[in-house]
Structure 1
Amino acid sequence: MHRIARNPLRLLQRCYSSYPIGNTQPKTISDLYAKYMAKEPITMITAYDFITASWAQEANCDVILVGDSLAMCALGYESTTEIGLDEFRYHVQAVCRSRGPAFVMVDMPFGTFESSIEKGVETAISLMKCSPRVGGVKIEVGTPQGDSCEQDYSLKLATELCSRGIPVMGHIGLTPQRMHALSGFKVQGSKSAKDAVGIYRTAQNLQDAGCFSVLLECVPHKVSNFIAEKLHIPTIGIGAGAGVSGQVLVQSDVLGMMPGKVPKLAQKFGDLHAQSVGMIQQYTNDVTAQSFPNNDKNGFKIKEDIWYEFLERLAQEAK
């Protein structure tokens, strides 16, 4: 007699989805737009690996950003510009192994798209292929200074990617990859009306290029609010005030993973660094004092007859 399956419906399943039954399906752009249209703030946070991504998933963040900030916050580099594509893809894949509903966005690291449109498209495809959970890429876009055409290339790349069905979030205002051109990490659009207009026009151009969202970093809150009201796509802010569609922060800042102060645009919601050092110190103290491990609590027992047989065998071998 043939064995009857416990769940006959499983025999009829067809794998139309990339995700097996039982796993939480990630949010889509439509889900993010639903929150945007309902005027519900979109929550976004960075993650660097499986553990930090799992924390973000369990906290029900809408979007996880695998940002190139991981170069400094997780890998010890002096700048975000130092991380290479292969190393970055490794972390993207680790983040995507976490299970949960968050929409996963990934940065386009410095040096992986600037040389040509073809190279940029190739990089974006490579990142999207890291995992079916990668929902889109983020590109830093320069704001023109005077008669500069700095933004033309990145806008063209964004247009090319959107035309190929790759979701793009444009990143404007303070763009860390261009920190040298911007003379450091400074607020953008606060010194002149012309600069503020440039940021606004860039946001409009990104919307026209087909970007599904725009991230505003270190932009005066009045300017950011104005941009958010004029655009028809979600605006995510970091140091851009409360008038945008959602917020993003670096997870190591939120958790207080490192000692010292965090940037003005961020906020510590805990002090994981101090707690972690304290717990590790307690562990070393317990080992030194020989209070850990405890054989009854942390050890494993052996049956007495097996123990005596063990000793007997060794005694016979010694004869």
Structure 2
Amino acid sequence: MIRNAVHHLHRSYSSYLSPVVRPKTLADLFSKHVSREPITMITAYDYISGSWAQAANCDMILVGDSLAMCALGYESTTEISLEEFCFHVQAVSRSPGDAFIVVDMPFGSFESSIEKGVETAISLMKCSPKVGALKLEVGSHSLSTHNPDYSLKLAAELCSRGIPVMGHIGLTPQRVHSLGGYKVQGSRSAQDAAAIFETARQLKKLGCFSILVECVPHKVSQHITETLDIPTIGIGAGSGTSGQVLVQSDILGMLPGRVPKLAQKYTDLHAQSVDALKHYVADVTLHKFPDNDKNGFKIKEDVWREFLEIVE
């Protein structure tokens, strides 16, 4: 009798479980790439921004270290710690949806050694089962020497261990000081452009499943895309890449001021939010909010009278 009751309860509970959403896979992304369908990617910082990106049906979500500046108020992406970054990775990963989640390897978490880089990569992949890949900023491959950039060695090590890696070339914010600032890369000399192209070829050869190209002349990024048979994701790299990524705070206008040239602001959430909050402040000041009938909760008259008798 008890066994049947338990079985009945189990079946009743199971019938109310929400359907399992299958996250997109690398195969899904390659399918879009092969059919020449543009791949969409949006950054996210927390559960809310992750949920917005998921609801917009974007293919990929990037939990980028740009959240240090866009969401946490740091002056640079290099200031955020790995522990703090993992907290945001987990929050974004809890957002419901099927987007393929890619996670940055933040500055200071992998540069000291290959072993440290592998350890960091494993910890990031273990943040959530929904984390599908890592993004690694890579310096341009030198055509004049046979010494590969350290990050290329790390990319090779991670790929050899079965960890999906998206290489990030062109403008790499973590190396902004060595690059002389936030500047277009590969536009001043053929050698610079060739170095970016060669880096892309090396990353593909090492096993990277995709390459993010930032602030590179559109002819160069299109040539990279047409030469390689893996998806390229552009930001400030023109329309010839396999897909595009933008920072969510730029898209929504979350912060005051102009967005970078490479971005597009589709709404002004900052102004709208401030106006809404001012409206709330004014309503409270003028005793317009809350409205007892609309926002309050009532008590039965006999309970109210008994309450008065008790307290008086």
| Corresponding position of 1:107 | 104
Q: For the Cα contact (< 8 Å) 2:143–2:195, is it kept in 1? A: no
| Corresponding position of 1:128 | 125
Q: For the Cα contact (< 8 Å) 2:253–2:267, is it kept in 1? A: yes
Letter of the structure 1 residue corresponding to residue 181 of structure 2: G
CA–CA separation in structure 2 for the residues paired with 1:207 and 1:144: 13
Q: TM-score, normalised by structure 2?
A: 0.95
RMSD over aligned Cα, in angstroms?
1.7
| Corresponding position of 1:239 | 236
> Does 2:214 correspond to 1:217?
yes
* CA deviation profile, 1:122-151 (whole Å, cap 9, x unmatched): 000000000000001000000145646785
Residues paired across the two proteins, number: 307
Aligned with 1:177 (options 171, 174, 178): 174
Three-state SS of the structure 2 residue aligned to 1:34 is: helix
| Corresponding position of 1:14 | none
Superposed displacement of residue 21, structure 1 = 6.2
Letter of the structure 2 residue corresponding to residue 48 of structure 1: Y
* CA deviation profile, 1:9-49 (whole Å, cap 9, x unmatched): 998xxxxxxxx861312101111001101100000010000
* Shift in alpha-carbon separation, 1:238–1:8, aligned structure 2, 3 A: same
* CA deviation profile, 1:198-241 (whole Å, cap 9, x unmatched): 11100000000000000000000000101000001000000000
| Corresponding position of 1:309 | 306
Letter of the structure 2 residue corresponding to residue 309 of structure 1: E
* Shift in alpha-carbon separation, 1:9–1:274, aligned structure 2, 3 A: closer
Superposed displacement of residue 152, structure 1 = 2.2
Superposed displacement of residue 260, structure 1 = 1.0
Q: Which moved more, 1:287-296 or 1:149-158?
A: 149-158
Q: Which moved more, 1:136-145 or 1:26-35?
A: 136-145
Letter of the structure 2 residue corresponding to residue 287 of structure 1: V
Q: For the Cα contact (< 8 Å) 1:143–1:150, is it kept in 2? A: no
Aligned with 2:288 (options 279, 288, 291): 291
Query: Can you give the 5+ residue segments of structure 1 that lack an aligned partner in the other structure?
Result: 12-19
| Corresponding position of 1:32 | 29
Q: TM-score, normalised by structure 1?
A: 0.93
| Corresponding position of 1:53 | 50
Write out aligned runs for 1:74-153 (5 A).
Answer: 74-144=71-141, 147=144, 151-153=148-150
| Corresponding position of 1:167 | 164
| Corresponding position of 1:16 | none
Stretches (4+) displaced over 4 A:
6-11, 148-151
Letter of the structure 2 residue corresponding to residue 249 of structure 1: L
Identity of aligned residues (%): 68
Query: Can you give the 5+ residue segments of structure 2 that lack an aligned partner in the other structure?
Result: none
| Corresponding position of 2:273 | 276
Letter of the structure 2 residue corresponding to residue 31 of structure 1: D
Three-state SS of the structure 2 residue aligned to 1:137 is: strand
* Shift in alpha-carbon separation, 1:105–1:291, aligned structure 2, 3 A: same
> Does 2:2 correspond to 1:5?
no
Three-state SS of the structure 1 residue aligned to 2:132 is: strand
CA–CA separation in structure 2 for the residues paired with 1:139 and 1:150: 19
